[in-house]
Amino acid sequence: MSKKIVSLVVVLVLAAGLVFAGGGGQKGKSSGDIRIGFAQCKADESDWRMANTRSMLNTFFVPGYQLTLADSNNDAAKQVADVQSFIDQEYDYIVIAAVNMDGWDTVLRNAQRAKIPVILVDRNINAPQDLWTCYVGPDFKVEGTKATDWMKKHFGDKPVNVVNLQGQLGSGAQVGRSAALDDAIAANSNWTLVARQTGDWSTDVAKQVMTSWIQQYGDRINCVYAENDNMADGAIQALQERGIKVGGADGVAIISFDANRPYLQMTLAGLINCNVECNPLHGPRVKGIIDSLEKGIQPKKIEYIEEEAFFWDTITQAVIDARQY
Ligand code: AHR
C-alpha cells in the first residue's frame, strides 16, 4: 500500500481496531511480527491529529511490525477499555495518546503484570512513573509559555482582555496550555481572563463559542488564546463575520498552537499572530523506542521534543515550504 493510500484509509475508514501490517497483509502473533496496539484519542479530530495518525501508520507499515489502531473517538473510558483489550490479546507493545490525564492506574497495572511495555506518546498522564515505560512528546506548559511571552511583548502595559478556547478538558495538552495562561494572568495585573470554555479542538464548536462571547463581551476582547489551530480558525471566522479586525498589529490578537501548514499560511497572512508548534510526527520516534527496547536498551524516561514558535511579522513562505506537515 502506498503512503498516499494509507493516508486515504486514515481519513475514510477510521474505526476501532484497524490493523496495519507491513509487507502487504495482516499477520498473527505466530508470524514473528512485533505487534503494537496504538490507543489513539480520535484519529481524524483535527489537522494535527490526522498528521499524527498518518505518521504512526506510515512508519509502522513496514515488514516486521503490525500496528493496530484503536480509535476512542475522544472517549476516555473507551480508550482505557481499548488498552485493556490490547493487554488481553497479549500485544508486544502498547502506545497511548491519552484522551485524559487521569484514570490510568488500574489498566497500567494490568499491563505491568502482563509485562507489556507502555509508551506514552504526545499526551502526558497522571500515573506513577513505574507504571509506564517512557513518554515522548511536548512539554505543553512550555508551549503555552512561548505564547504568553509573545503576548507580553505585544501588549506591554496595555490591558489584555483574553478569552481562552480550551482543548478537551482534562487532556495533557489542555491542562499544560491553560496553566501557562493562568500563570501569566496571575503575574500581570493588566491581564484579565474574560471567558474560558472548551472548544473540543473543533473549528465549528470554537466558532459557536466565540460567537456567543462576541455577543456577550463585544469589543472588550482584544486577545484569543486558542489551544489549537482548528479552534483559532473557528474564532477568526466568528470575528470576521461580525466585521471585527483580526490579527496584525492592531486587530484582535490571535494565539494558536500546532502550526499545521494551512494555519502557518494564516500566520503569514497576519490572521494568526503567534502560532506555537506542536509536532505531530511521532511515528519514527515511537519506532526508535521500540527498536531500542527490542535490543534491550532502555529509552529515556521522558523525552520532550524541541518545538518552535512562529510569528506573523517574521514568518516567511520559505519557512512554511520547508515544513513537513
Ligand atoms: O496533544 C496535541 C493536541 O491534540 C493538538 O494541539 C490538538 O490539535 C490535538 O488534538
For the chain, the structural domain boundaries read 3-137+280-294, 140-278+311-321
CA–CA distances in Å: residue 161 to residues 105, 152, 185, 222, 280: 39, 12, 10, 6, 31
pLDDT confidence of residue 27: 37
pLDDT confidence of residue 5: 36
pLDDT confidence of residue 306: 95
DSSP output for 109-175 = HHHHHTT--EEEESS--SS-GGGSSEEEE--HHHHHHHHHHHHHHHHTTS-EEEEEEE-STTSHHHH
| Selection from 62, 70, 71, 72 nearest residue 27 by Cα | 62
CATH number of 3-137+280-294: 3.40.50.2300
CA–CA distances in Å: residue 185 to residues 152, 257, 323: 10, 19, 32
Q: Is the CB of 278 under 6 A from ligand 1?
A: yes
Residues in Cβ contact with 221 at an 8 Å cutoff, skipping those fewer than 6 apart = 161, 162, 163, 194, 213, 214, 252
Q: What is the pLDDT of residues 61-85, one digit of tens each?
A: 999 999 999 999 999 999 999 999 9
- Map grid coordinates 481519513 to a residue: 11
User: And the C-alpha cell for 122?
Assistant: 504526545
User: What is the CA(157)–ligand 1 centre distance, in A?
Assistant: 31
Ligand 1, atom 3, lies closest to the CA of 173
User: What is the CA(173)–ligand 1 centre distance, in A?
Assistant: 6
Query: Would the CATH topology of 3-137+280-294 be identical to that of 140-278+311-321?
Result: yes
pLDDT confidence of residue 99: 98
Q: How confident is the model at residue 244 (pLDDT cuts 50, 70, 90)?
A: very high
CA–CA distances in Å: residue 132 to residues 83, 107, 301: 13, 11, 9
On the question of pLDDT at 278 being above 60, the answer is: yes
Q: What is the DSSP letter of 30?
A: G
Q: How confident is the model at residue 17 (pLDDT cuts 50, 70, 90)?
A: very low
- Map grid coordinates 500566520 to a residue: 267
Positive/negative CA dihedral, 299, 65, 60, 124 = negative
CATH number of 140-278+311-321: 3.40.50.2300
On the question of pLDDT at 297 being above 70, the answer is: yes
pLDDT confidence of residue 20: 58
Which of 124, 165, 171, 202 maximizes ligand 1 atoms within 8 Å of its Cβ, making it the mutation to test the pocket? 171
Q: Is the CB of 282 under 6 A from ligand 1?
A: no
Task: Look up the pTM and report it.
Answer: 0.93
Q: How confident is the model at residue 12 (pLDDT cuts 50, 70, 90)?
A: very low
Q: Is the CB of 177 under 6 A from ligand 1?
A: no
Q: What is the pLDDT of residues 179-190, one digit of tens each?
A: 999 999 999 999
What mean pLDDT is predicted for residues 109-138? 98
- CA 111 vs. chain centroid, Å, equals 24
On the question of pLDDT at 1 being above 60, the answer is: no
DSSP output for 189-244 = TTEEEEEEEE-TT-HHHHHHHHHHHHHHHGGG--EEEESSHHHHHHHHHHHHHTT-
Cα(315)–Cα(241) distance, integer angstroms: 26
| Selection from 45, 100, 46, 63 nearest residue 78 by Cα | 100
User: And the C-alpha cell for 185?
Assistant: 494572568
Q: Is the CB of 49 under 6 A from ligand 1?
A: yes
- Map grid coordinates 486515504 to a residue: 8
Which of 233, 258, 304 maximizes ligand 1 atoms within 8 Å of its Cβ, making it the mutation to test the pocket? 258
On the question of pLDDT at 135 being above 90, the answer is: yes
Ligand 1, atom 6, lies closest to the CA of 228
Cα(45)–Cα(258) distance, integer angstroms: 13
pLDDT confidence of residue 13: 38
On the question of pLDDT at 18 being above 70, the answer is: no
Q: Is the CB of 123 under 6 A from ligand 1?
A: yes
Q: Left (φ > 0), alpha (ψ -120 to 50) or beta: where does 104 sit?
A: alpha
Atom of ligand 1 nearest to the CA of 97: 1
Q: What is the pLDDT of residues 188-218, one digit of tens each?
A: 999 999 999 999 999 999 999 999 999 999 8
Atom of ligand 1 nearest to the CA of 280: 2
Positive/negative CA dihedral, 181, 227, 99, 297 = negative
pLDDT confidence of residue 145: 98
